[in-house]
Amino acid sequence: MNEAAEKFRSPMAAEVVGREAERQFQHVWEKPRGWRRISAVNNSVIGRRFILTAFMFFIAGGVLALLLRTQLIVPENDLLSAEVYNQFFTMHGTTMMFLFAVPMMEAFAIYLIPSMIGTRDLCFPRLSAFGYWCFLFGGLLLYSSFIIGSAPDGGWFMYVPLTTKEFSPGINQDFWLLGVTFVEIASITGALELIVTILRMRAPGMALHRMAIFAWYMLAVSFMIIFGFPPLILASILLEAERAFDIPFYDVTRGGDPLLWQHLFWIFGHPEVYIIFLPAAGLVSAMLPTLARGPLVGYSLLVLAVVGTAFLSFGLWVHHMYATGIPRLALSFFAGASLAVSIPSGIQVFAWIATLWEGRPLLRTPLLFVIGFIIIFVIGGLTGVMVAMVPFDWQVHDTYFVVAHFHYVLIGGMVFPLFAAFFFYLPRATGRMLSETMGRTSFWLLFIGFNVAFFPMHLTGLLGMPRRVYTYPADIGWDWLNLTSTLGAYMVAAGAAVFVGNVIWHMRWGEPAGDNPWAAGGLEWANPSPIPPYNIRSIPRVTSYNPLWDQPGLHDRIESAREYLPTAEEGKREVLATSIVGAAPEYVLRLPSPSFLPLLAALATAATFIGFLISKYWIAAIGAGTFLLILLFWLWEEPHEKHEKDVGNGLTLPIGSGSTGAHDWLGCLIFVFVDGAIFASLVYAYFYLWTSAEVWPPPGFAPEIGMPAIAVLALTMLSLVVLGLTHWAASHHSRLPILLGLALSLPVLGGLAYALFEAWNELPFDLKSHAYGALVIFIGGYFALHVLLAISSALFSLARFLFGGVVPHKEVSTLVFTLLGFYSAVVGLAAFAVIYLSPMALR
């Protein structure tokens, strides 16, 4: 047995399943060694990589913040020029929002969720690895802008028209637009992974009402990412298209509107606040019962509060646009929604306080950070209620009062729970405890320093100091407040430095932690420490919310391989797929082994973005083509050697599933949600510009319903019929009808693509003449792209049947094709209605 397998070998498991079977199990799940480590796809490895990389970006963003505060320590300072200050300010905000906060919270979820729900890995391990490489390469792409002196300088919100080519002709803003979009691929892939894993891979018996509370938080947050990030992706694509190709989406002189950017940005931006806060709150809810030595109070109310926050957060985006001239009646609705979202936040705070009150708190370092978080977040919440009021917001808008508010909410609401989680969960990863003395020192430096740094900013803002200024005159009352804030920022940096020193110290000299140093009740502690690559030795049946507290002997049964899937006799990585509501076992899900495909796919994606950045579109085309070729190898899987297996405890389950409930079909459905959110944002842009433009469409721009358009409509309707027949055949596992349906789908979809091309040629305008024409062509092009996607999916499914050796009842690719086909048809019908049947088009 190799060294890695020996390290994680369970003696109890070896006694039960046999030495040879234990060796095989350890070999199947071991991490690759040497240079092949970069091919690892285990969630424990990818999660640690995410956490370490996000923390390095946190340090980089913190250094930029210290330089900004040092510039403002005294009036009329010349440490930084206005240009450099704008670059540092932009990259500080971008780093903290896009490269630290969201990736770090998703990283903890990637690392912890499989263990919490009693499974061995995420459902799509290669996808999470691909997401990590996209995150790393996207961050490096952003920071490479410093090397050529062209760092983004338009603010982390990139408001137009200041970021258009006319006012920012350099490459600075292109780095932001392409780099952030690249990074967001990682966030969306992580959200997709987490949704499917949480819904389909929980341990048997872990019904939704027994699910780990952190899993509930991350399920809600993942859906928020799925629907919240696409509007920003679209906004970035439209702005990059305007900058690179002069397509007038935001140009007022050609029917565009700069406020369209703000609407799309903040439709993303306000859910983003809760996308950052809710995972941190979820970590608090997960840790608090153990730290308080008592059950979590109000589990059901917390779940309702999380779901309520997720819904309400999408109705608040104008909260950031009170000063843009929106009618007061509309502002009143958004002000009401801004107040309403404080109710679920209050429910969570009172549940945490009640848990502490009912328990016997253990005042260790993690609990200190949790208490500090509650105090700071409540202060930030109170100022949030203040800025939700329109008259007050008009007074403090774009002042340092707002800076103080969102740092209290975001840093207090995310960083303090994060440090608590580091102290709580790091022993699980390393097998050693951190120093309590250094922990308390770092807490007090961070807590006191944070309040010294940011509380005075409330006063600075009330005294009129605007945001984003690189210097200020003396003798106007801001001097001592800025000096105090800067000294507080250095205290925060000292606290972070002590924490880093603590982590380094504990790796060598920390006290051994044991398997469950906190005597916690969650399944994430039902493993050896350090955590093995497979997370949990055998998959248990769960009958309680706190299984390790309420099910005596469960830890020993798991470790002695007396639960489900105790062996890996076929040499495959296997987990259980369970039902969405009750977590009843349904089939065995086989996971891929370590692979270089995620890294290669991310490199191809990076080449695509770099090609657009430097305007070498042939490089982008090669990168995109290479990615599609890699994707073909990625998706092609060999058939299983048998159809079912004994998973232990007298239960036999099929291997894989070809139904619409399968994990891969569900993953495709989540992808459709992402895609649909992008399309909905595109349609929103069309109707928004209709309300802001003087004439929509301009004279001579209205498209006519000619024969090509009628052909598009007819073929779209026909495709629905053919897709319905194919779906019926796939659902009934009939090989010949499936092949017939695929064969019929190809000419129908091909004819639809040709009809779209002809309809495109009949449009009486081009991309650059007016925003109306640009949006009509983009909407039509979006439909055409998805028709091509459906054709590609049909060809892939046909190849799987003809050359893949698959059987109909195990093949889900046809169901995926019909899902993509139905979605493409719905997009087509919606596009036809917008372009030809909307009131504007019929004028």
**C-beta neighbour count of 76 within 10 angstroms:** 8
Query: Is this prediction's pTM over 0.85?
Result: yes
Using alpha carbons only, give the angle 11, 16, 17 rounded to the nearest 5 degrees. Answer: 100
The angle that helices 365-388 and 400-410 make with each other, rounded to 10 degrees, is 140
| φ, ψ of residue 814 in degrees (nearest 5) | -70, -40
Phi/psi-derived region of residue 397, left when phi > 0, alpha when psi is between -120 and 50, beta in every other case? beta
The angle that helices 813-832 and 707-731 make with each other, rounded to 10 degrees, is 150
Through-space distance between the first and last CA atoms of the chain, rounded to whole angstroms: 77
749: enclosing H helix or E strand: helix 735-761
Alpha-carbon gap, residue 68 to 379, rounded angstroms: 24
Task: Give yes or no for a cis peptide into 75 (omega within 30° of 0).
Answer: no
The pLDDT of residue 703: 79
**327: buried, middle or exposed (CB in 10 Å: 19+, 13-18, 0-12)?**
exposed
Do β-strands 644-648 and 573-578 pair in parallel, antiparallel, or remain unpaired? unpaired
| Gyration radius of the chain over CA positions | 28
The pLDDT of residue 3: 43
Contact between 611 and 180 (Cβ < 8 Å):
no
Rounded (10°) CA dihedral 36, 39, 43, 45 = 40
Residue owning tokens 């007016």: 770
384: enclosing H helix or E strand: helix 365-388
The pLDDT of residue 809: 63
- The 3-state DSSP class for residue 493 equals helix
Rounded (10°) CA dihedral 169, 171, 172, 173 = 80
**114 token code pair:** 């499989």
The ranges of the chain with pLDDT < 50 are 1-8
Task: Give yes or no for a cis peptide into 530 (omega within 30° of 0).
Answer: yes
